[in-house]
Amino acid sequence: MSSGRRDSDASHTAEVTDLDAVRARRAATRASAPEPPARHPRTVILHVSHVRSDAEAHRQIGVDDSLTLKDLCAVLATAFRLPHHAPWTLHGENHRLPSDKTIAEVLGRTGSRIGVHWGLWQFLVETVDSWPRDAGTPWALCIGGSGDFAEQPFDITEINRELTGDTAADAILATTRAEVSDLIERAQIHDFIPLLQALDLARDTGLSRSVRDTLAQLPVEEDPAGRDAFWVCALALGSLADEALAHDILEGTMQALGWVNDDGTALSGHDVRELCLASLRILASVGGYGEEALPALDRLDIYRQLLGSGGAAG
């Protein structure tokens, strides 16, 4: 085992990228429109991919499902740094989609897909998850991704700064467990802040007292490397990343924190998990990890409780 040590029907143009106008339009609609039929709004998690023979780029984006497809294109333009002058069109399986359709209508079900043609580029947009949203949840947020696009580096912090305006990082970190916010500050990896915002840590999880008491004990490791390793694992789990991306998160964050193997080599994702194996076993016992983990929505409640400032033992 490794041990750590410090060391529309027509093509459209870029007017959709006016995010301030999108926010203003949504506010005006809420103020002037008659009361709609009762409907609980949802956050839809979209996986957007651009794949070609020599490279690929992916973004995971959480959006308000009441947004229109036109609004969604504004989000994509920001997430991929798409050129303003290029026309765009939206396509279903065998037909073109009007841009005034809502995300709920077209992408409201898990597994739903549409294609976006932006100039010469093609993107696949697929719904991977959804859950009820609170009033304070951002209207759109990039919660993960990989790959640069058109020579523009992937910068999740800058993307979310443009999507949400003021990221209010201090306010978000104030809702986060002290060890987690301290780790983020030490690592200087502020890409975790949008994740914490998307998790909405102040939401009531509804977990039983026994589960909350179990989570409050974590981590059980006493050495600094083990404790850091557990919180990095918790952040990776909270992102619902696939195995490959999770390993990247574990390895990159521990490296940024200065932890390496005893021989000076970088910690692998497996090494990081080994450092906090006892805590991960306890997390698995309540369904937050491992082969018998609960469904994604239930796991998210566990991660909210674990990462939020109200989750610490009193």
pLDDT digits (tens, 9 = 90+) for 156-185: 888 887 887 654 567 778 889 999 999 998
Better-scored residue on pLDDT, 21 or 81: 81
Q: Contact, 154 vs 147, CB < 8 A?
A: yes
Dihedral sign of CA atoms 46, 116, 97, 19 in order:
positive
Q: How confident is the model at residue 228 (pLDDT cuts 50, 70, 90)?
A: very high
Q: What is the pLDDT of residue 135?
A: 62
Distance (Å, whole) CA 63 – CA 8: 20
Q: Say what percent of the chain tops pLDDT 70.
A: 83
Q: Is the pLDDT of residue 10 over 50?
A: no
Of 191, 159, 195, 160, nearest in space to 175 by CA:
195
Look at residue 122 in the predicted model and tell me its pLDDT: 94
Which region among 12-21, 120-129, 247-256, 277-286 has the lowest average model confidence (pLDDT)?
A: 12-21
Q: Where in the chain is the domain with CATH 3.10.290.30?
A: 14-30+39-165
What is the fold, at CATH topology level, of the domain defined by 14-30+39-165? 3.10.290
Q: What is the pLDDT of residues 76-114, one digit of tens each?
A: 999 999 987 789 999 998 899 999 999 999 999 999 999
Q: Model pTM?
A: 0.54
> Residue 241: is its pLDDT beyond 60?
yes
pLDDT at residue 150 in the model: 85
Question: On the CB side of 19, how many CA atoms lie within 13 Å of its CA?
Answer: 19
pLDDT for residue 132: 85
C-alpha–C-alpha distance, residues 109 and 33, integer Å? 26
Most confident of 137-141, 187-191, 227-231, 259-263: 227-231
Structure tokens at 156: 């999740």
Q: b/e per residue, 156-168, with b = 16+ CB within 10 A?
A: beebbebbbeebe
Tell me the three-class secondary structure of the chain, residue by residue.
Answer: CCCCEECCCCCECHHHHCHHHHHHHHHHHHHHCCCCCCCCCEEEEEEEEEECCCCEEEEEEEEECCCEHHHHHHHHHHHHCCCCCCCEEEECCCCECCCCCEHHHHHCCCCCEEEEEECCEEEEEEEEEEEECCCCCCCEEEEEEECCECCECCCHHHHHHHHHCCCCHHHHHHCECHHHHHHHHHHCCCCHHHHHHHHCCCCCCCCCHHHHHHHHCCCCCCCHHHHHHHHHHHHHHHCCCCHHHHHHHHHHHHHHHCEECCCCCECCHHHHHHHCHHHHHHHHHCCCCCCCCCCHHHHHHHHHHHHEHHHCCC
pLDDT value at 5 more than 90: no
